[in-house]
Amino acid sequence: MNYEEALLSPMISWDSLTECIKIPLKLYKYQSFIKMDGTDNTHWMSNMEGQFHMSLGCEFEDINDCKPYFNKNSVIHHLYDSSTLLNGDVGTKLKILVKLVYRLDNNYFDSVASKYQSEIRIGCFTDLNDNEQMWKKYAYDKTGYCIEYDTSKNELFQISTLPVLYSTHFYDCSKTLATLLILECNKQEKKESLENSIKTFELIYRRLLKMVYIPLFIKQKYWEFEREYRMFLLHHRNTRKGLLKDSAYLDTNYNINLTNAVSAIYLGENFTKLDNYRELLNKVIEICKMKQIGLFQKIVRDGKLENIKIL
């Protein structure tokens, strides 16, 4: 079974997936000293020291990033297929289904997608420090920097980080949504707690916990140049190392602490074109000395990108 098959399989949990997929020893984050609007990035020192912001899907450039896709006809089909989970006679089940179908308009689907994109925290990394397109796009035309992380130094890399799958198709969440709606109706009809509902339909809930979050790791082919790895934080999730709560890692500004994982800094080949590059360089050197990590300058030699060691 390859990674795509494992990612899409409802039978393979997130914990099993993160355990069997070995991520690179080094991952990277491209950033800039100047924001896209031309103003200074005031967070660059904190970033180099180890502060790492976890974003929401709704904050990404691609409006379809982390967005679940639904097909109304497919949702209706799966609602009827899943109606066997409902209590009551045929007439009762039919009334419930009619009410559910009535809700399924574009506004409903948009609200579900919007809520989804506004709840899960994501950290974006890549596996190369010499990616030309990444330097141009995310490091302000190669004037910025790239932070290197040692993935063995923080457990979130081992238990909550996976590669992105690039596809020409959106991942269809219609069956997942239909099953969730049926289970919620069943719970309400029986006036049952979520805990009891999970006990009754344990296997179904277990599969849903996998399927619900698959869209986080699927992006359109256009973004394939990013070679992205994603770290994700749910409000809480069971892992092989115990219960993982986002509140244990996020500060009030939704940053996590990767201080111990920062292992090197790379400056872009156009860094010296910045008006204040000397001042910036002195501060970067100070940070790297304090952290006892390597500092490199990217240069082009014979048409190839190379690293010149500064520290």
Shared domain for 112 and 188, answered yes or no, is: yes
In this predicted structure, the answer to whether residue 33 has a pLDDT above a threshold of 90 is yes
Q: What is the pLDDT of residue 147?
A: 99
Which residue, of 155, 183, 211, is where some domain finishes?
A: 211
In this predicted structure, the answer to whether residue 87 has a pLDDT above a threshold of 90 is no
How far apart are the C-alpha atoms of 199 and 206, rounded to whole Å?
11
Confidence grade of residue 90 (pLDDT, cut at 50, 70, 90): confident
3-class DSSP state of 125: strand
Shared domain for 283 and 308, answered yes or no, is: yes
Question: What's the structural domain count of the chain?
Answer: 2
Shared domain for 146 and 178, answered yes or no, is: no
**Residue 225 within a domain:** yes
**Residue 29 within a domain:** yes
Question: Which domain does 181 fall in, by range?
Answer: 67-119+174-211
The CB density around residue 229, as the number of other CB atoms within 10 Å, is 22
Shared domain for 104 and 9, answered yes or no, is: no
**Residue 40 within a domain:** yes
Shared domain for 242 and 204, answered yes or no, is: no
**Residue 62 within a domain:** no
Which residue, of 211, 238, 270, is where some domain finishes?
A: 211
The 10s digit of each residue's pLDDT in 213-250 is 999 999 999 999 999 999 999 999 999 999 999 999 99
Confidence grade of residue 264 (pLDDT, cut at 50, 70, 90): very high
Shared domain for 297 and 182, answered yes or no, is: no
Shared domain for 148 and 103, answered yes or no, is: no
**Residue 294 within a domain:** yes
- This model's pTM is above 0.85: yes
Shared domain for 76 and 149, answered yes or no, is: no
DSSP codes, 49-102: HTEEEPEEGGGSSSTTTT--B--HHHHHHHHHHHGGGS-S-HHHHHHHHHHHHH
**Contact status, residue 144 vs residue 297, Cβ threshold 8 Å:** no
* Helix (H) or strand (E) segment spanning residue 165: strand 165-167
The 10s digit of each residue's pLDDT in 64-78 is 999 999 999 999 999
In this predicted structure, the answer to whether residue 194 has a pLDDT above a threshold of 90 is no
Q: What is the pLDDT of residue 186?
A: 86
* Helix (H) or strand (E) segment spanning residue 262: strand 262-267
The CB density around residue 253, as the number of other CB atoms within 10 Å, is 10
Q: What is the pLDDT of residue 86?
A: 83
Shared domain for 142 and 51, answered yes or no, is: yes
How far apart are the C-alpha atoms of 187 and 179, rounded to whole Å?
12
Running DSSP on this structure, what letter comes out for residue 34? B
In whole angstroms, what separates CA 92 from the centre of its chain? 41
Shared domain for 282 and 161, answered yes or no, is: yes
Shared domain for 237 and 162, answered yes or no, is: yes
Q: Which of 40-54, 82-96, 228-242, 288-302 shows the lowest mean pLDDT across its residues?
A: 82-96
Shared domain for 201 and 288, answered yes or no, is: no
Q: What is the identity of the amino acid at 75?
A: V
